[in-house]
Structure 1
């Protein structure tokens, strides 16, 4: 293993830990808050949606930590980005209920919501880093001696 490969592992490892930590916080807070939102319901309650988000974030954290493949990183990014987008939409716009989904408009900030936004943002940044920074791919493009290959 070259020193370049070893050096590439350190920032990617930190990014994986940050992404997983953000997802674990997201999963915990959604599971913790779910009971408070069971009464907000049409066909499916907001509490149930929070439990689903919690489970998906937990799976995404495991994929980022243990599977370490692009599809898992994409799944983690989509989980955090989708959760953040929905949180912000329902914070700033009264979409109303549609289909089986309840009206989840909540125009206030409170500490758990703020922590969730931060956790999801950290996960998004960390997974974007994981998806874009791939030392092996960069090394292959340069050729065997660190110079650009001639085409």
Structure 2
């Protein structure tokens, strides 16, 4: 439940903030689009950990949570610049929604990693 909750908050906040970042774009993709993609992946991951407790779904959820948190921290502390189709998303400021996203992703990362370590008994995954 904790993993799904963290991923759901992550999904909501990225969807909520996406339009704020639509103006930041490379020649191919905008940051708002990437936020919407993160929102969709986090929502799917939340649903998967609620419905199926199998290794592929738990691994997907962990990758979404850990990857999202890693990217948030990198783009907060490192000016990576534009990387191919990915726009320059450097934003060295913390604000309420960004802090809430980081906390949600950290909770989801810890919870999904524990799902990977504590596997259910039996063949069905529940």
Q: TM-score band, normalised by the shorter chain?
A: over 0.9
Equivalent residue in structure 1 for 2:12, among 20, 23, 28: 28
- Tell me the equivalent position of 1:73: 58
C-alpha deviations, 1:89-108, integer Å up to 9, x for none?
A: 00000000011111000000
Rg comparison, structure with higher value:
1
TM-score (norm 2): 0.93
C-alpha deviations, 1:82-128, integer Å up to 9, x for none?
A: 00000000000000001111100000000111111111111111112
The unaligned stretches of length 5 or more in structure 2 are none
User: What is the number of residues matched between the two proteins?
Assistant: 121
C-alpha RMSD of matched pairs (Å)? 1.1
- Tell me the equivalent position of 1:18: 2
> Runs of 4+ in structure 1 displaced over 4 angstroms?
none
Q: Is the 8 A contact 2:53 2:120 kept in 1?
A: no
SS of equivalent to 2:92: coil
Equivalent residue in structure 1 for 2:43, among 55, 58, 65: 58
The structure with higher relative contact order (CA 8 Å, sep 6+) is 2
- If each structure's helix is expressed as a fraction of its own residues, which one has the higher value? 1
TM-score (norm 1): 0.78
